[in-house]
Amino acid sequence: MTTVIETDGLTKQWGQLIAVNHLDLAVEQGECYSFLGRNGSGKSTTARMLLDFIRPTAGSARLLGGAGADPAIRGRVGYLPGDLNLPRAMTGNDAFDFFGGLRGSADDPERASLIDRFGLDPTRPVRELSTGNRRKVGLVLAFLGDPELLILDEPTSGLDPVLQEEFRSLLADRKARGVTIWLTSHVMAEVERVADRVGLIRDGKMAKELAMEDLRHQTTGRIRLGFAEPVEASAFDGVDGLTTVDVDGRDVTVSVDGPVAALLRRAGDLGAVHIETQRRDLDDIFLELFDLSADDGASP
């Protein structure tokens, strides 16, 4: 498999501030990689280094086998910045003609359908557009010309829920075509449907990398059991796959990794009177992971 984005010890430092700290990253062709982190964690700085807007203090970054500074490489990349700024007098159509012209995709047959899909009026000048409508212009520009790699910095920021859904659908469509996607976000639910892998960045460092499948797995497996009489946590010792046991009087909440048959047998033996499965929100897991990575960072 071809590696489309590759960083090796990528570092950006301004004075005492280390915005990105020895970042090692590899995104394979056709993969959707989501870079998650809080505001100011280094997501946008990484995107700006990938496209050579700013130069690394140390380390290197490669896109599609070449440098982000190479126009031939950038011609194969669709980019949506976190804060899209276009000349204010430019209309959407002007932008598609001009930037599309530079990329050789002004006459992309998909242009009309993309405009239609996002419900954009392309005749209005940028200065008259709301934040959401400017975002739509940026999204159409990013998708024009069927790029091999999409770099999207907080793509749904400012979009209403309907358009967010439309965007996810479009992203899934591009992913099915084999397009590699690298997107930043601080909203876990946004990436749930499209991401294959997530990287959690904290204070410029890669805190954790996880396959989306593993994350999804963590959303299930919490079971609440009700008993007629209070039980001790030790009553569940030796149950296969049990990772946590929380006792609150006659209620016991457990996490299970794997089959639940052994747990159910033990619960039955202990006289359980009701059973309830719980699904954890991805955002909770996101917060939990960040807490864990903070703890990791604090340890010597």
Partner 1 sequence: MSAGWMIVRRWMVDRRLSTISWTVGLAVIVVLTAAFYPSLSETTADLGSDSSGAMSALLGLSSAIDPSSPLGYLWIGLWANVVPMTQIAFGIALGSAAIAGDEETGTLEYMLSMPVTRTTIAVSRFIAAVAILVVSGALLCLSLIVSIPLFELGDSVTTTASDGTSTTQPGATALDAFNGTLSSTAVGLGFLGLTYAIGGITGRKGTATGVAAAIAVGGYVLYTISNSTGSLDWLAELTPWKWYVDDASLVLGVSWAVIRPVIMAAAGFVVGAVVFARRDLQPAK
Residue 143 Cβ vs partner 1, minimum distance, rounded to whole Å: 14
- 63 within 8 A of 48, measured Cβ to Cβ: no
Q: CB 276: neighbour CB atoms within 10 A?
A: 11
Taking CB under 8 A as the rule, does residue 67 contact partner 1?
no
Nearer to partner 1, 102 or 233 (CB): 102
Residue 8 Cβ vs partner 1, minimum distance, rounded to whole Å: 20
- 96 within 8 A of 122, measured Cβ to Cβ: yes
Report the SS3 class of residue 142: helix
Taking CB under 8 A as the rule, does residue 58 contact partner 1?
no
Nearer to partner 1, 49 or 245 (CB): 49
Residue 244 Cβ vs partner 1, minimum distance, rounded to whole Å: 44
Taking CB under 8 A as the rule, does residue 102 contact partner 1?
yes
The pair of structure tokens assigned to 171 is 């992203």
Q: Of 15, 71, 109, 300, which lies in the binding site for partner 1, with binding defined by CB under 8 A?
A: 71
Distance of alpha carbon 55 from alpha carbon 40, whole angstroms: 18
Taking CB under 8 A as the rule, does residue 84 contact partner 1?
yes
Taking CB under 8 A as the rule, does residue 55 contact partner 1?
yes
DSSP annotation string for 221-260? -EEEEEESS---GGGGTT-TTEEEEEEETTEEEEEESS--
Chain contacts with partner 1 (rule: CB under 8 A): 48, 51-55, 69, 71-72, 74-75, 77, 79, 81, 83-87, 89-90, 98-99, 101-103
